[in-house]
Chain A
Amino acid sequence: MRATKRLFKGTVAVLMCIVTSILASGCWDQREFSDIAVVMGIAVDSSEEKKQELTVGVQVANPVPYSGSSGDSGSKEAYSDFSGSGNSIFEIIRGITHISSRRLYHAHNQIVVFGSSIAENEGIRRIIDYFLRDNEMRYNVLLAVSEDKATEIFSAGTNYEKVPAQELAELIENQAANSCSAVCTLIDFAKYGTSVGATALVPIVKIKEAAETGKDSGEGSSSEKSGSSESSGDKQSPQKSYEVTGAAVFDGDKMVGKLSEEETRGALWVRDSVTRAIVRAQTEKLQAEIEVFNCRTHVDAKINEEGKAVAKIRCEVYSNIAQVSDSGVKLDTDTVKKIAEACGGVVKEEIEKAYEKSVEIGCDIFNLGEKIKDKDLKQWRKYEDDWKQLYKELDLQLDVNINIEDIGNLSSNVQWRETDEKNGNEKEEKQ
C-alpha cells in the first residue's frame, strides 16, 4: 500500500516535471532553416509621395551553397531585396511576408541604414522604438545614415562579402582602425539619444562610384580607403563600393548636422573612442606620421561657481612612429619629442575644430553632460535645462600628451644615395 502510494507520488512528480518543462519553455517556436529568411540589413526612408509614410528595404541572405558542393544553384544570387511602404515599420516588415515565402529573421541583422531625409526631417524615434522592442532584434546592430536614399544603399555590389549589407557593416566596424568615423549601435543610440548631456554620432555612408575609386587608388592619400583601393584593380570587383564619410550628429532622434572625418575624430578623442589612428604632423625638419595604438582620455568636466562649464581634457596617446619623410634624419630624443609635440598640436586642433562645429550645430558631441551627471547628479539636475547654452560657452582646457613608444624597426638613420641624373629611378624605402 505504501509502495503504491510512493509509486503514485513518483509518477506524479515525473509527469509534473515533463508538463512544466513543456509549459515553461517560452521558445516553443521551433523552426527550421528553410522557414526563415535571414535579414542582413534594413534600410528606412521616408516616402517621397506621402508624408508620414515610410519606405523600407530589407536585404535577405539567400542560402547559396558555397563552392565545393555540386548543384545548379551557382547562378542564384547571394541575396535578395524586398521592399515595402506603409505607415509604420512594423506594418511594412510584417507586410513583407506577403512577398517573401519565408519569415524574416532579424537576429542576424547587421545594419540599419536611415535615409538622411527621414533622419533630418522626421526623426527616427518610432523606428528605433520598434527595433528596441522587438525580441528578435539585437541591441548591437549597427546604425548608419545614408547621404542619398537609404533603400538604394544595398544595391552596390560587394568586394569581399556575399551580401552588401554585411560588407557595409564590416566596413563601418573596421573604420576603428582609423577612428575617422563613429560606430553607433542601436543601444548606443538609445542611450545617447535619450540623454541631454550626450549625442549620438552615427556614421554617414554613401555609395562610391568606380571612377572615383580608381583615381584614389594610386595615391593612397586618404587612409580609410586603403581597403577598397587595393581591390580596385581586380576585374571581378563591382563598379561601386561603399564609403564612410564622417558622422551624423543626432540631437535626440533627429539628425541636425554632419561632422567631417577630421571633426569626427576630434570628437572621438574626447569620447575616448579612439582605438587606432594615424596622425600626421610637420616639424621644422621633417614630416612624420605616428600610429596611435592606444588612447586614454580623462575628462574632468564640471560647472564652476560662476555657473560656467569647464572641461579639463587630458588625452594620453600611445603611439609608434610609422613613417618620416626623411630617413636620413636621426630620430634622437629631441626629434622624437618635437614630433610628439607637433602631433599633439594636430590632435588638439582636431578637437578644437570639432568643438567649433558642435557649437555651430548646438550639440554636446563630447558627451560632457554625461560626465557632469556622473560626477554630481544634483548639480546636473540644476543645470540640465541650460546645458546647451552652457556648452556653447564651455571653457575647454586641452592637454594632449603623445607618448612615442617606438620608432619602428628602422633604428638607425639611413642615408639614401642622391638621385643620379642618369639613373633616376627611385628606390623604395625598406619599410
Chain B
Amino acid sequence: MARKHEPLRWLLSLLKKRSDERFRGKGKQDEPAKEIVKSLDSNVTTLQALFHGSEDLKIRFFEFPYAAAEKGSSPQRRAALIFVDGLADGKILSREIVEPLMYGSGKDFNASDMKAIKTTMLAVGEARSAKDFDDAVFACLLGDCIMFVDGFADCIIIGAKGYDKRAIKPSDTEMSVRGPKESFIETLRTNTALVRRRIKNPELCFENLVVGRQTKTPVSVVYMHNIADEKLVKEVRRRLKSIDIDSIMSSGYVEQLIEDEPTSVFSTVGFTERPDVLCAKLMEGRVGVIVDGTPYALTVPYFFIENFQTSEDYSNNFISVSLIRFFRYAAFFISTLAPAIYVALVTFHHEMIPTSLLLTMSAAREGIPFSAFFEAFFMIIVFEILKEAGVRLPQPIGQTISIVGALVMGEAAVSAGFVSAPLVIVIAFTAVSGFVVSSLSSPVLILRFVFLFLAGFLGGYGIAVGIIVLIVRLADIESFGYRYLSPIIPFNMRDQKDTLVRAPLWMMRTRPHLLARKNRVRENNPIPPDDN
C-alpha cells in the first residue's frame, strides 16, 4: 500500500527506520510476569511494591468464615480486597463483597478453592480469577477490585468499576435539529453501550485492544460482523496492534498513527461524536474505533464525500437535503477558491469582470497601497488569527474578540484605505463558507493559501493547474485500501445515491457496494412506498 516514489514519504520512512533502530528494545521492559503465591501478605507486599506505594491503592484486610460454625466460632480465612481509590465503587465493595462474606454464616459457602469462592460466595456481576500479577494490576487500574485469599495462589478480579464520569449530553460539535442528540463521552464502556443500544444485534462486535505503553489505553474496534469486510477488520486490527507509543491522550493520536496518508492534509480517518452516526457508518460496512478517554469515535475507511454528509441528511426530505448538499459543495469551493479567484480576476483577467463591476471594484481599490495578492494574503492571516483567538477563549472574552476583529480590523482597515472593501467581502464570505464543511476546515485553509499563491503568480492558469494537481492527488489517496474519492473516482453508478444528491430512503436499497460486499441489501421497500 505504501508508495515509495513520493519524496516526502520516502524521507519519512528513512526517519522512521532511524528512530526504530534507536529505540528498539529500550521501551519494553518485559520482566517475567510474577506469579501469585499462596501467602496473602506476600502477595499484598508484592502488589504494593508494583505500585511503588502509591497513595490511591487501597488495601482492605478482612476475615470471613468459610465453614459452618461448629464450636462457638467458625473457622476464619483471611482475605484482602485491593482496589484503586476513585476507580472502584466503594458501595459495591462493602455491600456486595465484604458484607455477605463477613456476616454470612459460612455454612453455605464452599471455600475449598478460589473457584468455589467465586461461584458460591461472591454476589457480584463480574468475577474472574487470575493467576499472575500483570492481570491483577491491570484489572486494578481499570477500576476493578482484586481479592486475595490467604492460602490460595490465585486471585479473583471483581468487577467493581465505579469511577465518576460525565453525563451524556447533546453533541456540541455535530448539532442536530431532528435526529438523536446523545453524544459520546470519555468512558469507553458507556460509549459501547450507546452503540449497542442502537444496534440490538449480536452481530455487532466489540474487540478490545490496549494501546499505549505507559497509558495502557483501552481501544475498542467495533463493526458489524455480518456486514463489514473481514479484510478491513483485519487491517484495522493490524494497524492498531502495530501502534507503539507511550501514551494515547485522545483518539486523534490513534487517527494519526493508523491513517494511510499522514503527509496529506486530507484526513483519511473520520471521526464523530454521535453514536447514531457511528451506527450508520457501521451499517454501511465501515469499522469504528472507540478510544477510551475521548468522546470521538473514529471510522474507517473515510471518503471525501463523507465530509459533506451529515446525520441530519437522512432525517429530512431528500429534495431539500440534495439542494443543501449542493450548497455544501459550493461552500467548499468558495472557501477554497474565492480569494484566489478574486486575486486572479483583479490582477490578470480584468476582461472577465462585467464592466460595471470592474468600475466599482477598481474604484474601491483606488489608493490601496498593497497589491491584491498581498492584501488577500494578509486578510486571510488576520482572519485565521482572529478565529484561533476566539476558539479557545472563554465566552465573555470571545465577544470582545469578535468586536475588535469585525469593527477594528474590518471597518477601520477599509476606511483607513489599507484594504479594499470588496476584498473584505470576499474574505468574509470565504470564512463563512469555511464553516459549512467544518470537517474540511484545515485542508481548506492550506489549499486556500496554495491557490492564492498560484493565482497571485499565474492567475487563472495557476488555479486551473492547482485544481488538476489537487484532483490527481486526491484520487491517489487511499483509506484502508479504498480510494479516497470513491465512489466518484473510480466511478460507481450504484453508489451515487448518496454522493452529490441523496436519493430517497426507499431508493437506497443497497449498501455501498464497495464496502459491504457480503451483505448488500439494506432494505426491500416497494418503490415508491405504496399504501398497504
List chain A positions with a Cβ less than 8 A from chain B: 3, 6-7, 9-11, 14, 17, 21-22, 24-25, 27, 29-34, 36, 38, 40, 61, 63-66, 69-70, 73, 105, 107-108, 110, 136, 138, 162, 166
Contact = CB atoms under 8 A, between A and B. Distances in A.
B7 to A, nearest CB: 5
A108 B366 contact: no
Given A3-B10, A25-B461, A27-B459, 9 more contacts: A10-B5, A25-B459, A25-B462, A32-B346, A32-B347, A34-B366, A40-B355, A63-B359, A136-B351
A224 B365 CA distance: 38
A108 B10 contact: no
A8 to B, nearest CB: 9
B6 A10 contact: yes
Nearest to A138: B351
B462 to A, nearest CB: 7
Contacts of B361: 33
Given A27-B459, A70-B415, A108-B351, A33 B346 contact: yes
B208 interface: no
B364 interface: yes
Given A30-B348, A70-B415, A21 B461 contact: yes
B363 A66 contact: yes
Nearest to B13: A3
Nearest to B417: A71
A107 B350 contact: yes
A52 to B, nearest CB: 32
Nearest to A26: B461
Given A70-B415, A110-B355, A33 B362 contact: yes
Contact of A64 (B348, B355, B363, B459): B363
B447 to A, nearest CB: 17
B371 interface: yes
A32 B5 CA distance: 41
Given A22-B458, A32-B371, A65 B363 contact: yes
A22 B7 CA distance: 22
B436 interface: no
Contacts of A107: 350-351
Contact of A36 (B6, B350, B368, B371): B350
A219 B362 CA distance: 42
Nearest to A7: B7
B10 A32 contact: no
Interface in B1-53: 4-7, 10
Contacts of B462: 21, 25
- The SS class assigned to the B binding surface is helix
Contact of B365 (A33, A136, A162): A33
B68 interface: no
B501 interface: no
B465 interface: yes
Nearest to B461: A25
Q: Which 8 A-B pairs have the closest CB atoms?
A: A107-B351, A33-B362, A63-B363, A63-B362, A63-B366, A33-B365, A108-B355, A10-B7
Which residue, of A24, A27, A29, has the highest number of chain B Cβ atoms within 10 A? A27
Contacts of A69: 364, 421
A65 B350 contact: no
Contact of B359 (A6, A17, A25, A61): A61
A42 to B, nearest CB: 15
B372 interface: yes
B362 to A, nearest CB: 4
B442 to A, nearest CB: 23
Contacts of B5: 6, 9-10
Given A10-B5, A32-B372, A25 B366 contact: no
A65 B364 contact: yes
Contacts of B461: 21, 24-25, 27
Contacts of A14: 7
A180 to B, nearest CB: 25
Contact of A30 (B7, B355, B415, B459): B459
B525 interface: no
A36 B361 CA distance: 13
A17 B359 CA distance: 36
Nearest to B415: A70
A73 B364 CA distance: 12
Contacts of B76: none
B399 interface: no
Contacts of B4: 3, 6
Contacts of B359: 38, 61, 63, 162
A166 B358 CA distance: 13
Interface string B323-346: 000000000000000000000001
B364 to A, nearest CB: 7
B364 A166 contact: no
Nearest to A162: B359
A61 B362 CA distance: 10
B360 interface: yes
Contacts of A6: 4-5, 10
B358 A108 contact: yes
B339 to A, nearest CB: 16
Contacts of B346: 32-33
B372 A65 contact: no
A31 B421 contact: no
A63 to B, nearest CB: 4
Contacts of A3: 4, 10
B358 to A, nearest CB: 6
B364 A34 contact: no
A38 B371 contact: no
Nearest to B454: A21
A166 B458 CA distance: 31
27 contacts: A6-B4, A6-B10, A10-B5, A10-B6, A17-B465, A21-B461, A27-B349, A27-B461, A29-B348, A30-B348, A30-B457, A31-B347, A32-B365, A32-B372, A33-B361, A34-B365, A36-B350, A38-B350, A38-B359, A38-B362, A40-B355, A64-B363, A65-B366, A66-B360, A73-B366, A107-B350, A108-B351
Contacts of B10: 3, 6-7
B20 to A, nearest CB: 17
Contacts of A11: 7
Contacts of A63: 359, 362-363, 365-366
Contacts of B415: 70
A108 B83 CA distance: 82
Given A10-B6, A69-B421, A27 B348 contact: yes
Interface string B472-485: 00000000000000
Given A10-B7, A31-B347, A25 B363 contact: no
A3 to B, nearest CB: 6
A105 B347 CA distance: 13
Interface string B447-469: 00000000001111110010001
A64 B10 CA distance: 56
A136 B351 CA distance: 8
A29 B350 CA distance: 11
Contacts of A108: 350-351, 355, 358
A31 B355 CA distance: 17
A232 to B, nearest CB: 24
Contacts of A7: 7, 10
Contacts of B349: 27
